[in-house]
Amino acid sequence: AQTVTQSQPEMSVQEAETVTLSCTYDTSENNYYLFWYKQPPSRQMILVIRQEAYKQQNATENRFSVNFQKAAKSFSLKISDSQLGDTAMYFCAFMKPLIIQGAQKLVFGQGTRLTINP
Amino acid sequence: ETGVTQTPRHLVMGMTNKKSLKCEQHLGHNAMYWYKQSAKKPLELMFVYSLEERVENNSVPSRFSPECPNSSHLFLHLHTLQPEDSALYLCASSQDRNSNQPQHFGDGTRLSIL
């Protein structure tokens, strides 16, 4: 079974600083997807960034980038020039398609509560 | 606006009540999911429906009964719940034929069992 571990329950940085959230996972699969989701106090889970395991290039989305180390099974999220609106819970998630009918099965980590201070 | 709408936003019920949570997606997706989010625990996948057929049931107690009448609507019927069932219940949808497309989540229903 796949597992996802986020070892940092809480983090706090000053506005405009760079912060890195760590995530490790365990799987025997070779082809899969990894995601970072953000959940602000409004509760809505918002996709931040995703990475396909077969791609060696790290994904980037504006101020958000990942460091994907497949051999180490590590998938960290870097937030550059952090903003107050980045305050949220951040969840790392692993996905491979379900065999039956191709539906997805996401496995989430425990989450990291990130606070950006003014 | 996420395209996935959940109602009600908050629900308080006694252990003997019967209630239902509703989820509706406006994205043309054909797979829908129920998750349970408890404090200090990872999101737990409860049920998966693909093309209106249940394809996954993660050992969820029978006091939770899902229903998917069509690809746009998903319900979670609740009956004789326990205090430990208090949690945030999240619905999500995806386009199952494109497994690299992410799931879209609703805002959740905060459920409190008295």
Which residue of A5, A90, A91, A101 is the best one to mutate when testing the B interface, meaning the one whose CB has the most B CBs within 10 A?
A: A101
Which residue of B1, B37, B40, B54 is the best one to mutate when testing the A interface, meaning the one whose CB has the most A CBs within 10 A?
A: B37
Taking an 8 Å cut-off on Cβ atoms, the answer to whether A100 and B55 are in contact is yes
Euclidean distance between the first and final Cα of chain B, in Å? 31
Pick from B90, B102, B108: which is nearest to A35 by CB? B102
* B37 or B1, which is more confident: B37
Confidence band for B63, pLDDT divided at 50, 70 and 90 = very high
Which residues touch B112 (CB under 8 Å, ≥6 apart)?
Answer: B10, B11, B12, B13, B86
What does the pLDDT look like over A20-68, one tens digit per residue? Answer: 999 999 988 888 899 999 999 878 899 999 998 888 899 999 999 999 9
Asked whether the beta carbons of B78 and B13 are under 8 A apart, the reply is yes
What does the pLDDT look like over B3-54, one tens digit per residue? Answer: 999 999 999 998 888 999 999 999 999 889 999 999 878 899 999 888 777 7
B69: left (phi over 0), alpha (psi -120 to 50) or beta: alpha
Taking an 8 Å cut-off on Cβ atoms, the answer to whether B42 and A35 are in contact is no
In chain B, what residues touch A43 (CB-CB under 8 Å)? 88, 107-108, 110
Report the distance separating Cα B50 and Cα A100, nearest Å. 9
* pLDDT the model gives residue B54: 78
* pLDDT the model gives residue B39: 84
Taking an 8 Å cut-off on Cβ atoms, the answer to whether A100 and B105 are in contact is no
- Chain B closest CA to A6's CA: distance in Å? 10
